[in-house]
A and B are shown apart, each in its own frame.
Chain A
Amino acid sequence: MNKNPIFSTFVLLLLIIVGVVLRASIYTLDQAEQAVIVQLGAPVGDPVTKPGLHFKLPFIQEVRRFDKRVISWDGDPNQIPTRGEQFISVDTTARWRISDPLIFMQRVQNERGATMRLNDILDSVVRDKISATDLVEIVRSKDWKISEADLARVQLSGEDDEEILLQEVKTGRQELVKSIYTQAASQMPEMGIELIDIRIKRIDYVEAVEQRVFDRMIAERQRIAEQFRSEGEGRAAEIDGDTRRELSEIQSEANRQAEIIRGQADAEASSIYSQAFGAAPEFYAFLRTLESYPKTVQDTSTLILGTDSEYFRYLRDVSVQKTMDQ
């Protein structure tokens, strides 16, 4: 074992130098990364996209790393008028990826630069497309349809804007988004970017319009409420009317039946009487008259009788045998 301190120091230094050189010529690339090798400012070779352990020339080559994954872009909500002059607030979101890190590096340098360019491009495309489209086309999709039954049901619940409901959808939201995507995506390759997806995240009415829509909804609800109330009153009145009609029917029917029963009874009685009395009309008259006197003569009555009446005959003369026998 050499104990010369100079030699030991030299070995140590050599080891350190080897280590540093080795460290500078080896680099690892994560699964989520890709890189461009830059030699004294100029890119060298194809971009490195395979993750793992890689080598490069030490010191004169440096590694510029870029994300290989899909990156989110979130636009600020924009107030855009639709073709129908309705102002809406549109919030879009997009996904993009660095498809060519070399071009990406040359054109926009880094993600910050890319985001700024994307802001410009996507905002303008979205603005163009939205302002050339009717609100219904933005909100609804192509398969929007409203059946007769739906319409009837909805109108029953008080929707008044039949015109809006029946408005046909020619393109619809999906087609609109697709055309935004197509137009925006065509501008991406020159930046080394691939646009994966762009979506309308939110559509809202701007505040002033929103208030008007709320007012309209409130008015609509109040109208429905009124309709319910008057329906209730109407039904109640109808039931009351029915009740009264039924009442009259029941009472008059009962009276009718009662009259019929009475009439039949009277008729029967009458026929019984006439049968019995018809057999002896003269005797009936006699009997009936006799029966009627006690009823008609009362203590307020004054009777004036002639002495020649049947009853007083014997008052004057007892021997009336002759007369009677005559």
Chain B
Amino acid sequence: MPRNPLDDVDWDAVKRYKKLVLIVPLFILIAVGALTSYYIVQPEEEAVIKRFGLVVAQKEPGLHFKLPFGIDTAQMVPTARVLKQEFGFRTQGIDGRTSYRKDSMHRDESLMLTGDLKVIDVEWVVQYRVSNPDKFLHQVRDPEQTLRDVSESVMRRIVGNSLGSDVLTEKRVQVANLSRAELQKAMEYFDLGIQISTIELQDVTPPEPVKPAFNEVNQAEQERERFINEAEKRRNQVIPRAEGEARQVIAEAQGYAAKRVNAAKGEADRFTAVYEAYLDAPDVTRQRMYLEMIDKVLPQAGRIFIMDENQTAPLPLLNLGDSPVTVPANR
């Protein structure tokens, strides 16, 4: 006789535990229901509430209730947080000291062509915020990747429409502003629910192999300044001294002039004075002056010969020198 499997059941035990068998699942049911009927939205977040997959509400930060058992689901999106994407490098270490990493993959991101068909290495950061969490979640499958792709494309278009030397220097801000505007427009086109806060250009440099040549230009520029400065220095060493010397020459000439004129005046005055005295008694004065001169001259002379008209040989008056002196006898 085949055994009825139900005969083996300890029906007494079933009766005994009947209550428990009903209560435990019920309790679990209530617990699960309670746990899935509320959610907390953090201050920087917004919640998107979906009922059977259909978006029914967006909630602000705080405690909220919903239908349990997965009928309603809540998805939190950090709308208040400013998010960041880096191009051409990656920041490492969130807190404390940060370091920047750049390898060949990142270099591919940042190397681009300029309008003058050169190559330039532009690193930049896009800061953005989720402005519409519903759209952010449901409009595009991978919004971050879309943002990356579009941002790269936009930056390359703008840089490709500028001169490389401008992007390196004065047009940095302009490039950032233009690409921000264009990126924002693209975000609106995709209806991504993303608001672009800023685009900031980081390091904008010539490509690695060209850098030494660029540095050489900077050095040469400084060298040029140095050359010029040195020449100015030489100039400053010479010119003020020459100016001083010029003033000296002029002053000396003025001194000479004063001396010369004064001497002339003195001499003239003396002459006039002597002449006036002379006019009082011309003959005597003349005689006296002549003799005074002789007084001075004769003692000075080395030898003096006094000749008589009638004699033929010179007549030595004072000491006769060793060497014979021949003097013409007659005039």
Alpha-carbon distance between A270 and B260 when the two chains are bound, in angstroms: 10
| B25: Cβ under 8 A from any A Cβ | no
Q: Is the CB of A307 within 8 A of B306?
A: yes
Number of A-B contacts (CB under 8 A): 338
Q: Which of A196, A205, A250, A302 counts the most chain B CB atoms within 10 A? A: A250
Q: Is the CB of B6 within 8 A of A254?
A: no
- Name the CB-closest residue of B to A230: B224
Main SS at interface, chain B:
helix
Given contacts A174-B157, A261-B253, is CB(A140)–CB(B139) below 8 Å? no
Partner of B303, one of A28, A135, A259, A303: A303
Q: Is the CB of A143 within 8 A of B275?
A: no
Given contacts A140-B161, A254-B246, A257-B250, is CB(A283)–CB(B275) below 8 Å? yes
Q: Is the CB of A294 within 8 A of B307?
A: no
| B327: Cβ under 8 A from any A Cβ | yes
Determine how close the nearest CB of chain B comes to the CB of A278; give it in whole angstroms. Answer: 10
Q: B304: which A residues are within 8 A, CB to CB?
A: 302-305
Q: Which of A29, A275, A307 counts the most chain B CB atoms within 10 A? A: A307
Q: Is the CB of A72 within 8 A of B146?
A: yes
Main SS at interface, chain A:
helix
Q: Is the CB of A173 within 8 A of B116?
A: no
Given contacts A72-B145, A247-B238, is CB(A302)–CB(B325) below 8 Å? yes
| A116: Cβ under 8 A from any B Cβ | no
What band does the interface of chain A fall in when counting residues whose beta carbon is under 8 Å from B? 35 or more
- Interface window among A12-20, A124-132, A181-189, A210-218: A210-218
Alpha-carbon distance between A264 and B50 when the two chains are bound, in angstroms: 113
- Interface window among B35-43, B61-69, B122-130, B226-234: B226-234
Q: A297: which B residues are within 8 A, CB to CB?
A: 297, 300-301
- Interface window among B76-84, B93-101, B205-213: B205-213
Alpha-carbon distance between A70 and B146 when the two chains are bound, in angstroms: 10
Q: B275: which A residues are within 8 A, CB to CB?
A: 279-280, 283
Q: B165: which A residues are within 8 A, CB to CB?
A: 154, 157, 159
Q: A76: which B residues are within 8 A, CB to CB?
A: none
Q: B294: which A residues are within 8 A, CB to CB?
A: 311
| A190: Cβ under 8 A from any B Cβ | no
Alpha-carbon distance between A69 and B252 when the two chains are bound, in angstroms: 100
Q: Is the CB of B117 within 8 A of A213?
A: yes
Q: Is the CB of B268 within 8 A of A298?
A: no
Q: A140: which B residues are within 8 A, CB to CB?
A: 115, 160-161
Given contacts A246-B239, A254-B246, is CB(A293)–CB(B220) below 8 Å? no
| Chain B, 193-233, CB within 8 A of any chain A CB | 206-207, 209-210, 212-214, 216-217, 219-221, 223-228, 230-232
| B314: Cβ under 8 A from any A Cβ | yes
Q: Is the CB of A239 within 8 A of B228?
A: yes
Q: A95: which B residues are within 8 A, CB to CB?
A: 140, 146, 190
| A59: Cβ under 8 A from any B Cβ | no
Determine how close the nearest CB of chain A comes to the CB of B188; give it in whole angstroms. Answer: 12
Given contacts A221-B217, A272-B264, is CB(A200)–CB(B156) below 8 Å? yes
Q: Is the CB of A217 within 8 A of B260?
A: no
Q: A228: which B residues are within 8 A, CB to CB?
A: 217, 220-221, 223-224
Alpha-carbon distance between A146 and B115 when the two chains are bound, in angstroms: 10
Alpha-carbon distance between A150 and B163 when the two chains are bound, in angstroms: 9
10 A-B pairs with the lowest CB-CB distances in the bound complex, closest first: A232-B224, A265-B257, A254-B246, A258-B253, A276-B268, A232-B227, A269-B264, A221-B213, A225-B220, A239-B231
Give chain A's interface residues, CB within 8 Å of chain B: 5, 28-33, 50-53, 67-72, 74, 93, 95, 135-136, 139-141, 143-144, 146, 150, 154, 157, 159, 161, 164-165, 173-174, 196-197, 199-205, 210, 213-214, 217-218, 221-222, 224-229, 231-233, 235-240, 242-243, 246-247, 250-251, 253-255, 257-259, 261-262, 264-266, 268-270, 272-273, 275-277, 279-280, 283-284, 286-287, 290-291, 293-294, 297-308, 310-312, 315
Other A-B contacts than A70-B140, A268-B264, 10 sampled, CB-CB below 8 A, are A139-B117, A154-B163, A204-B112, A217-B118, A222-B213, A232-B227, A250-B243, A272-B268, A277-B268, A302-B325
